[in-house]
Each structure stands twice: as structure tokens, then as C-alpha cells.
Amino acid sequence: MPSPVSSPVSGPATRITVLSGGVGGARFLQGLWHGIEQRLVPGVSPDARVTVVANTGDDWWVHGLKICPDLDTVMYTLGGGIDHERGWGRREETWHAKEELAGYGVEPTWFGLGDRDLATHLVRTQMLDAGYPLSQVTDALCRRWLEPTYGDRVRLLPMTDDRMETHVAIADPDSPSGRRVVHFQEYWVKLRAQVAAEALVFVGLEESSPAPGVIDAITDADLVVVPPSNPVVSVGTILGVPRVREALVATRARVVGLSPIVGGHHLRGMAEQLLTTIGVEVSAAGVGLHYGARSDGGVLDGWLVDEGDVADVRRVTEAGLACRAVPLLMTDLDATAAMAAAAVDLVS
Ligand code: GDP
Ligand code: CA
């Protein structure tokens, strides 16, 4: 066990903070909550509170509306409104507005805004236009989605209230520079991450400030979890918000992560492509070492890899991280709760 930076919290965790992207983070959160409720996670108090700090680097403006994909995925998933098949957007969705916009030839036609989902974006945009910061807007939206089920025990915070957008430089032979920079949404939704990402540009990240509550959520936590979210464009952006990394290094909480790379591949999304872009080995060990041990200037005390990646454990341990190989497929709530239990146990 690596020696933590300051003396660790003892006893069952009551304040848990999770640094989440969209689908991977949301599914983990669902399983974690199930585990807390069903008392399947021994190291966590049944009265535990969970604060989610969510990535906002995927956010963008389209048709005059502010879209926050990862905040909404977490909110809809925990609130029972998600479309499980797609993993994003509302269940029982219809697409009339999208068809009508296409009827006018309004671009971008490749970005799907469902009719039900549209209501969320309308409320959010109106509140932003009225001057409310994103964190307060998110709070207001969560009154519908989270409060009825979780009361004040689950809180969702955007990583920052500032505008921050992930952009991707791709090769474009038609451009004089040979390159073009597109918004992350265009790279992922339109181009399906099928063109090489030459570089990532985190617009506004360095100048951003953590949203109210973010630093406290890390500093005052008993346990911080890095779920199996995209290490580059989900967790990577959260870690890039000024003062977040420092808070993780300094917190008394144990910090534990779960690998989104299983058997050398991501399970959905584009982590493989983007890890390659930033020069990180596409493996469970590669991502763990990229986050690094807190005892060595990194952000983690422990790293869980999938049972099939047991050969990676030694390299991770040698780097000063606690590491164990367990099943890491979020196939159902019980399996995901077991992952959460293993993560807590690893750093207890
Ligand atoms: P996004 O914002 O919707 O892309 O979602 P996240 O960033 O939160 O999570 C995406 C990551 O989740 C991908 O890199 C996947 O490899 C990972 N992921 C999805 N399902 C699973 C699973 O069942 N197990 C593990 N270990 N990782 C998963
Ligand atoms: Ca995302």
C-alpha cells in the first residue's frame, strides 16, 4: 500500500466523490448507489452521500441551445430517464423537431436532439441566458431528476461554470494547413472517431475555475473514485481544471480508479484513439500509470484492472499503486456494485 500524502480517513466512507464522464461514469454511479442501498459495499456507510463532478468538455452550443452531454447522461441515468440501449438521451424519445430542422436544411443534421431532451436544453439555455451559472442550472434540473429518489444524498456538479470545449485537430488535405480543428462532438458524432486525431485542444481549460463545491468535494471526501470513464476527454479534462489535481494530491481521502480499458480495448467510445493521440499506452496498466501514484506526484492510491489484465498488475504495483485484477464489466447492477466494493476494498 503506498503511503498517502496525509493520514487517511478511517472507518466506512460517508462522503464519496466521483469524477465522471458520461456513459461509463453514469453506469458506475448506478452500480455504486445500488451497492450502497443493498449494503454490498462493506467499506461504505449505508448513509453515504455521493457528489459527482462531471466533465463539461463535451458541451457545445447548437441551434442556439447549450448541450451538456455528460451532465445529462449522469442525470438521466440516475433519474431513470435514460435510453438504456443508446446509453444517452431520453427513453421513449421521438425525433420530430430533428426532422423538422432537417426539413429546413439547418445544419448540423448529424446531431440528434430528441423532442424530450430538447426540453432540458431549453430550460438550461433560458436559465443561462438569465444569468445563472451552469452549477445552479444543473441543480435546478436535478430537482426533477435526482431529488425525488436521492434527496440531498446525490449531488451533481459541473467541473466548471466556465465555457470549456474539447476540440480535435484532424488531417484535412483540402485545408491549406493540411489540418482542420473540429469540436469534439463533430469528431465523435459525425466522424465516429474514424479519422486520426492529431491533437486535442482543450479550449478554455487552463483559464477555467472549478465550479463552486468541486474543490471542497475532493478535499472533504472520505473516498474519491475515478470511474471507468474516458481518461482523456472525461477524466482528463476534469483533472485539467486548475486546482483539481492539487486537491486530489492533498486530500485525506483515498483515491481509487477503475480501468476503462479491458484487454487492451475500450468498451465503447473512443478512448483507444485518444490515448494514442496523447501518447499513452492503450492498456489497463498504461492508463493507471498515466494517472500515476499519489506517492509519486500522481492522483491515485489504487487502480483496479480487469481480471483478464492480471498481467498488468505487477507494473502498476511497481509504480507505487495498490492494484488488483477483478471482473470489470458493468453487465448489471450487481456486477457494477461488486466493482465498487472491490475498489473501496483496495484502498481500505
Ligand atoms: P462518455 O462520456 O459517454 O464517453 O462516457 P465516459 O467517459 O464516462 O466512459 C467511457 C468509457 O467507459 C470508455 O472508455 C469505455 O471503455 C468505458 N466503459 C464502458 N463500459 C464499461 C464497462 O462495462 N467496464 C469498463 N471497465 N469500462 C467501461
Ligand atoms: Ca462524454
Dist. CA 268 → ligand 1 center (Å) = 6
Taking only the tens place, the pLDDT of each residue in 147-192 is 999 999 999 999 999 999 999 999 998 999 899 999 999 999 999 9
Give ligand 1 pocket residues (Cβ under 6 A).
Answer: 20-25, 70, 73, 228-230, 234, 258-260, 262, 266-269, 271, 328-330
Of residues 265, 318, 314, the one with CA closest to residue 295: 318
Q: What is the pLDDT of residue 1?
A: 43
Dist. CA 7 → ligand 2 center (Å) = 34
Structural domain boundaries in the chain: 1-46+214-348, 58-158, 165-203
Is the pLDDT higher at 178 or at 75? 75
Q: Is the pLDDT of residue 132 over 90?
A: yes
Q: Is the pLDDT of residue 272 over 80?
A: yes
Amino acid at 16: I
Residue 38, C-alpha cell as written in the block: 443493498
Q: Is the pLDDT of residue 2 over 70?
A: no
Of residues 161, 307, 319, 300, the one with CA closest to residue 235: 300
Q: For the chain, what is the mean pLDDT?
A: 95
Q: Is the pLDDT of residue 4 over 70?
A: no
Nearest residue (CA) to ligand 1, atom 28: 260
CA dist list (Å): 128 to 64, 82, 135, 141, 164: 12, 24, 10, 12, 15
Check residue 260 and report its DSSP letter.
S
Peptide bond preceding 327: is omega within 30 degrees of 0, i.e. cis? Answer: no
Give the distance, in angstroms, between the CA of residue 2 and the centroid of all CA atoms in the same chain. 25
**pTM, two decimal places:** 0.96
Ligand showing the shortest atom-to-Cα distance for residue 82: 1
Taking only the tens place, the pLDDT of each residue in 202-222 is 999 999 999 999 999 999 999
Helical (H) or strand (E) element with 305? strand 302-306
Q: How many CB atoms neighbour CB 302 within 10 A?
A: 27
Is the pLDDT higher at 10 or at 339? 339
Q: What is the pLDDT of residue 3?
A: 42
Look at 4-18, 62-76, 94-108, 235-249 and tell me which has the smallest mean pLDDT.
4-18
Q: What is the pLDDT of residue 6?
A: 52
Q: Which atom of ligand 1 is nearest to the CA of 58?
A: 2
Strand partners, 293: 300
pLDDT, average across residues 66-93: 96
Dist. CA 89 → ligand 2 center (Å) = 12
Torsion over CA: 199, 204, 206, 210 (sign): negative
Dist. CA 87 → ligand 2 center (Å) = 11
Q: Is the pLDDT of residue 8 over 70?
A: no
Q: What is the pLDDT of residue 11?
A: 84
Nearest residue (CA) to ligand 1, atom 25: 260
Q: Is the pLDDT of residue 71 over 60?
A: yes
pLDDT, average across residues 34-44: 97
Q: Is CATH 3.40.50.10680 correct for 1-46+214-348?
A: yes
Q: Which atom of ligand 1 is nearest to the CA of 88?
A: 3
Percent pLDDT > 70 in the chain is 97
Rounded to whole angstroms, how far apart are CA atoms 314 and 125?
49
Check residue 50 and report its DSSP letter.
E
Give the distance, in angstroms, between the CA of residue 141 and the centroid of all CA atoms in the same chain. 18
Q: Is the pLDDT of residue 113 over 60?
A: yes
Crossing angle of helices 115-129 and 134-145, in 10° steps, is: 140
Rounded to whole angstroms, how far apart are CA atoms 319 and 37?
35
What is 58-158's CATH number?
A: 1.10.8.240
In 55-135, the DSSP E strands lie at 60-62, 65-67
Helical (H) or strand (E) element with 111? none
Q: What is the pLDDT of residue 7?
A: 56
Torsional class of 151: left (φ above 0), alpha (ψ -120 to 50), beta (otherwise):
left
Is the pLDDT higher at 134 or at 3? 134
Q: Is the pLDDT of residue 261 over 60?
A: yes
Q: Look-up: residue for cell 491533437? A: 199
